[in-house]
Amino acid sequence: MAKNVGILAMDIYFPPTCVQQEALEAHDGASKGKYTIGLGQECMAFCSEVEDVISMSLTAVTNLLEKYKIDPKQIGRLEVGSETVIDKSKSIKTFLMQIFEKFGNTDIEGVDSTNACYGGTAALFNCVNWVESSSWDGRYGLVVCTDSAVYAEGPARPTGGAAAVVMLVGPDAPVAFESKLRGSHMSHAYDFYKPNLASEYPVVDGKLSQTCYLMALDTCYKCLCSKYEKLEGKQFSLSNADYFMFHSPYNKLVQKSFARLLFNDFMRNASSVDEAAKEKLGPFSTLSGDESYQSRDLEKVSQQLAKPLYDAKVQPSTLIPKQVGNMYTASLYAALASLIHNKHSELDGKRVVLFSYGSGLTATMFSLKLSEGHHPFSLSNILSVMNVAGKLKSRHEVILHFLQMCFVRYYVFFYIILTRLSGISHCIQSAYTDSCLEHFLLLVFF
**Boundary-marking domain end, from 397, 414, 433:** 397
CB-side exposure of 146: number of CA atoms within 13 Å? 32
Q: What is the pLDDT of residues 66-78, one digit of tens each?
A: 999 999 999 999 9
CB-side exposure of 395: number of CA atoms within 13 Å? 25
Q: Are residues 165 and 210 in the same domain?
A: yes
What is the DSSP secondary-structure string of 235-251?
Answer: ---GGG-SEEEE--SSH
For residue 228, what are the contacts with CB-CB under 8 A and spacing of at least 6?
Answer: 181, 236, 240
Write the DSSP symbol of residue 348.
T
Is 194 assigned a ligand-binding role in the annotation? no
User: Are the beta carbons of 144 and 164 closer than 8 angstroms?
Assistant: yes
Q: For the ranges 203-212, 243-252, 380-389, 423-432, which has the lowest average pLDDT?
A: 423-432
DSSP H or E run through 208:
helix 206-232
Q: Are residues 376 and 437 in the same domain?
A: no
Q: Are residues 391 and 403 in the same domain?
A: no
355 forms beta bridges with 246, 365
User: Are the beta carbons of 146 and 80 closer than 8 angstroms?
Assistant: yes
Bigger pLDDT: 406 or 13?
A: 13
**Boundary-marking domain end, from 397, 414, 431:** 397
What is the DSSP secondary-structure string of 133-186?
Answer: STT--SPEEEEEEEEEE---SSTTGGG-EEEEEEEEEESS-SEEEEEEEEEEEE
pLDDT for 343 = 97
CB count within 10 Å of CB 232 equals 11
Q: Are residues 340 and 266 in the same domain?
A: yes
Torsion sign, CA atoms 401, 405, 407, 411: positive
426 vs 21, 48, 394, CA distance in Å? 19, 8, 10
Q: Are residues 320 and 422 in the same domain?
A: no
Residue 355 included in any domain: yes
Looking at the predicted structure, is the pLDDT value of residue 431 above 90?
no
Q: What is the pLDDT of residues 242-288, one digit of tens each?
A: 999 999 999 999 999 999 999 999 999 998 999 999 999 999 999 99
Residue 67 included in any domain: yes
Bigger pLDDT: 415 or 77?
A: 77
Q: Are residues 294 and 171 in the same domain?
A: yes
User: Are the beta carbons of 359 and 367 closer than 8 angstroms?
Assistant: no
Q: What is the mean pLDDT of residues 289-311?
A: 96
Q: What pairing do the DSSP bridges indicate for beta strands 17-20 and 43-45?
A: antiparallel
User: ω before 383 within 30° of 0 (cis)?
Assistant: no
Query: Is 436 an active-site residue?
Result: no
38 burial via Cβ count (<10 Å: 0-12, 13-18, 19+): middle
pLDDT for 50 = 83
User: Are the beta carbons of 169 and 6 closer than 8 angstroms?
Assistant: yes
CA angle 103, 108, 110 (to 5 degrees): 145
pLDDT for 422 = 44
CA–CA dist 355, 375 (Å, integer): 29
Model confidence at 446, pLDDT cuts 50, 70, 90, reads very low
Q: Are residues 249 and 233 in the same domain?
A: yes
User: Are the beta carbons of 213 and 258 closer than 8 angstroms?
Assistant: no
Q: What is the pLDDT of residues 188-207, one digit of tens each?
A: 999 999 988 778 888 989 89
Residue 1 included in any domain: no
For residue 5, what are the contacts with CB-CB under 8 A and spacing of at least 6?
Answer: 128, 131, 132, 169, 170, 171, 173, 176, 177, 179
Query: Is 247 an active-site residue?
Result: yes
Q: For the ranges 194-203, 236-245, 290-299, 425-434, which has the lowest average pLDDT?
A: 425-434
Say how many domains are in the chain. 2
Model confidence at 412, pLDDT cuts 50, 70, 90, reads low
User: Are the beta carbons of 314 and 243 closer than 8 angstroms?
Assistant: yes
Bigger pLDDT: 308 or 202?
A: 308
Q: What is the mean pLDDT of residues 342-352?
A: 97
Alpha helices per DSSP H over 314-394: 319-324, 331-343, 379-386, 388-393
Bigger pLDDT: 308 or 405?
A: 308
Write the DSSP symbol of residue 35.
T
Q: Are residues 432 and 321 in the same domain?
A: no
CA–CA dist 257, 248 (Å, integer): 10
Q: Are residues 337 and 228 in the same domain?
A: yes
353 vs 157, 238, 333, 404, CA distance in Å? 29, 10, 12, 39
pLDDT for 311 = 98
Is 93 assigned a ligand-binding role in the annotation? no
378 forms beta bridges with 373
Q: What is the pLDDT of residues 103-162, one digit of tens each?
A: 999 999 999 999 999 999 999 999 999 999 999 999 999 999 999 999 888 888 999 999
**Most distant CA atoms of the chain, gap in Å:** 71
75 forms beta bridges with 140
For residue 259, what are the contacts with CB-CB under 8 A and spacing of at least 6?
Answer: 299, 302, 303, 305, 306, 310
Q: From its phi and psi, is residue 297 left (phi > 0), alpha (psi between -120 and 50) or beta?
A: alpha
pLDDT for 402 = 64
Is 252 assigned a ligand-binding role in the annotation? yes
Q: Please give the residue range of the domain that contains residue 108.
A: 6-397
Q: Which of 43, 117, 212, 436 is catalytic?
A: 117
Q: Are residues 25 and 85 in the same domain?
A: yes
Residue 208 included in any domain: yes
Q: What is the mean pLDDT of residues 277-300?
A: 95
Looking at the predicted structure, is the pLDDT value of residue 443 above 50?
no
Q: Are residues 70 and 214 in the same domain?
A: yes
CB count within 10 Å of CB 330 equals 35
Q: Which of 51, 83, 200, 299 is catalytic?
A: 83
Q: For the ranges 22-26, 115-119, 296-300, which has the lowest average pLDDT?
A: 22-26
Q: Which of 47, 178, 247, 438 is catalytic?
A: 247
pLDDT for 413 = 52
Q: What is the CATH number of the domain that holds 96?
A: 3.40.47.10
Bigger pLDDT: 409 or 199?
A: 199
Query: Is 439 an active-site residue?
Result: no
Residue 125 included in any domain: yes
User: pLDDT averaged over the chain?
Assistant: 91
Residue 242 included in any domain: yes
Q: Are residues 393 and 403 in the same domain?
A: no
Residue 409 included in any domain: yes
Residue 169 included in any domain: yes
